[in-house]
Structure 1
Amino acid sequence: MDVSMLRIINKYPPMKGAVMAFSKQDKAFCVLQFAKTESWTCVQCAFCRKFKKEAPERKSIVRWHAKFVKDGCLCPSKRTGRPLTSEDAVEQVRTAFQRSPRKSVRRASRELQLAPATAWRVLRKRLQMVPYKLKLVQKLKDTDKPLCRDFCIAMQEKLEDNGFDDRLVFSDEATFHLNGKVNKHNTRIWGTENPHELLEHERDSPKVNVFCAISKKGVFGPFFFEEATITGESYLNMLEDWLIAQLEEAESDDFIFQQDGAPPHWSLRVRQFLNTRLPGRWIGRSGRGEDVLMPWPPRSPDLTPCDFFLWGFVKQQVYLLPLPRDIDELKARVTAVVGTIDVKMLEHVWQEMDYRLDVCCVTNIAHIEQL
């Protein structure tokens, strides 16, 4: 190495403790120079003259040249990564879960001597399986099915009459607790660190009982009961003093009122009031000789729009975090959410009700709450 080369190289001495990052252009220049001169010192000298910065080390120049000769490029080598799971292991996982679909991933991994992460990856990515959750539904008695089937058939026949669906008014009550029910599986707080946020759950928290009636034209309510438990007397007072007057003013003169078979609705005074005020124009649990349009089948929450649409929609919006601080705020939220329901939404709800009646008849009265 001559003195001029030493002067050039020493002019850009390496920085102690620094790790130089060289671009593709830098590496290509070094490879071309090394191919011409076959001298790493000449490459360093030319590099310093051209780029006015510290030259790469000898081993880097040699390694880049060798890689270019071998691979024809200076691109990083593809990493091997995690070894693929064998087809035999995939087939074992498939067989295990076809035989026992409710088996846990940990138990299957122990039986097959696979890592839990491997078993999970095979299920999700290789076999395209999804872990579905069980749904709890109300147990139906043998006597419930023929009653429900008869109701669905009779309702479908009446819906064929022009304007019958416009006359229907469905009703129901629901309880709203102040602390609500937060679904931990759907609630996530994204961040780079765990915020360790807690949500305090209060047992027997303050609650309010809410009544709503829903027709194809709009929602009547909410009505908030002052009592902690709805009785036949409080329910009758609500009908006499609040609901029926609104229905007679907003709906047609021949509207049809529906209620389910809850204990307050079964009160003798309530049924006498409906027989007198709405003869032949109410649907509900009834006794012999009562002037009811159709008896409501027991344990049929999947047929009323209040159950399959209204309460789920309202509670989903009401219990968004942060939760209501007191009963007044809870009532305000319920009222605001109910006010967002428009006629277009109700048209889709009525179409869904018609569809559910069809499904009940076709499936011989199967559970359809999850539709």
Structure 2
Amino acid sequence: MSFTPSELCDMILIYGEMGKNVEEAQREYKERFPNRQCPTNDIIMNTLTALREKGTLPSDHEDSDGETEPTQDSNGTILHNSLFPHYVQAVELTENDYNARIRFCIWLQEKLSKEPDFSTTVLFTGECCFTNRGILNYHNPYTGTISNSTRNSFQYDFSVNVWAGIIDKTLLGPFIFPSELNGESYLQFLQSMMPEFIEDIPLQVRKQMWFMHDGAPLHISQAVRTFFHMNYNEWIGRGGHVQWPVHSPDLNPLHYFLWTYIKNDLYHSGKGEIDSEDDLKQRILRAAAEIQQKPAWFKCMHESLPRRAEACLRTKGDRFHYFL
């Protein structure tokens, strides 16, 4: 059986409404949604377990026991950073990457040991490039001309660059860039649009807020770093008060939580082909609006972060998805 993110969410909500009685939840789901396929008791419980323990929804690759089946290439090699069936991108980590990830996770664990709710004071941000056929680049968004080899391996007709932020249980954005996304347009966004998003954050939260963005090329220009040093007391990123480890989308909630949810909603929910750029934009906005209405999911996202840091240290800085 395959279920959309919205259907999985309905299962969990009904399970709570029925006093956490899975059999009653199954009957209520069938009665409330007669035109949908009815989940088994195991599917409802596996969905709940995945959210509680991993902070993510089970994917189409999960079997009935809730265990994720790793994506493999033609040689049987496990691709730990697989994104979705149409386009797999795995970045090979270097020794420097391992060390940077270890340092960051040690720092994060120390902060959480002193302030258990520390992650709720971090404004996690990121960008993603969505096309009509999938995510073009899951970590660093499209910022220029695509090579012929890229076009041959990943065909698409149109794309949009999207920014979003998450602090505590609040989703900021998404903001869809009107043109090409690069260091200059990102700086313009920070100067003109970011203040409006920050206004939505309570003043008391802003006083202790950390800003986080990853190591994408558009984040590391001198102008961008100068902007952050002038406007934020504490920020995480390349050149920031705390260094963000590059090639680490598995530690960024924007990637393992928000973009994954939107990706599943766009490409794996059976809603049909995306037929225009406007259609793509509207679907992204609708998916984001849906997730903003699910505060329990944000709680799971925060609970997943310390487990990810621990798993990263367990693997000595390597990929850790299958150790969660």
Superposed pair shares fold, TM > 0.5:
yes
1:59-208 mapped onto 2 (5 Å cutoff): 133=72, 134-135=78-79, 137-162=90-115, 163-180=117-134, 203-208=155-160
Structure 2 match to 1:276: 230
Does 2:320 match 1:368?
yes
Alpha-carbon spacing, 1:236–1:369, altered in 2? closer, same or farther (3 Å) = farther
Does 2:238 match 1:293?
no
Alpha-carbon spacing, 1:367–1:238, altered in 2? closer, same or farther (3 Å) = same
Paired residue for 2:171, among 219, 225, 246? Answer: 219
Higher relative contact order (CA 8 A, sep 6+): 2
1:257-272 mapped onto 2 (5 Å cutoff): 257-272=211-226
Q: Once superposed, which parts of structure 1, at least 4 consecutive aligned residues long, lie more than 6 Å away?
A: none
1: distance between equivalents of 2:254 and 2:120?
16
Percent identity, please: 31
Q: CA deviation at 1:301?
A: 1.3
- The answer (yes or no) to whether the contact 2:133–2:156 under 8 Å persists in 1 is no
Gaps of 5+ in 1: 1-129, 182-200, 287-291
Other structure's SS at 2:263 match: helix
Gaps of 5+ in 2: 1-68, 73-77, 82-89, 136-152
Structure 2 match to 1:350: 302
Paired residue for 1:359, among 311, 316, 320? Answer: 311
- The answer (yes or no) to whether the contact 1:176–1:209 under 8 Å persists in 2 is yes
The C-alpha deviation readout for 1:276-297, integer Å capped at 9, x for no partner, is 0003x110001xxxxx331111
1: distance between equivalents of 2:300 and 2:228?
29
The C-alpha deviation readout for 1:310-355, integer Å capped at 9, x for no partner, is 1111011022331222111111111111111222101001111110
- The answer (yes or no) to whether the contact 1:308–1:369 under 8 Å persists in 2 is no
Other structure's SS at 2:317 match: coil
- The answer (yes or no) to whether the contact 1:259–1:284 under 8 Å persists in 2 is yes
- The answer (yes or no) to whether the contact 1:180–1:323 under 8 Å persists in 2 is no
The C-alpha deviation readout for 1:151-189, integer Å capped at 9, x for no partner, is 1011111112334222111111111112347xxxxxxxx
Paired residue for 2:162, among 210, 232, 236? Answer: 210
2: distance between equivalents of 1:322 and 1:235?
32
Tell me the C-alpha RMSD between the 2 structures: 2.2
Q: CA deviation at 1:204?
A: 3.9
Letter in 2 for 1:274: F
Paired residue for 1:315, among 263, 282, 292? Answer: 263
TM-score of the two chains, using structure 2 as the length reference: 0.62
The C-alpha deviation readout for 1:68-113, integer Å capped at 9, x for no partner, is xxxxxxxxxxxxxxxxxxxxxxxxxxxxxxxxxxxxxxxxxxxxxx
Letter in 1 for 2:241: L
- The answer (yes or no) to whether the contact 2:120–2:302 under 8 Å persists in 1 is no
Q: CA deviation at 1:233?
A: 1.2
Alpha-carbon spacing, 1:132–1:272, altered in 2? closer, same or farther (3 Å) = closer
Does 2:279 match 1:329?
yes
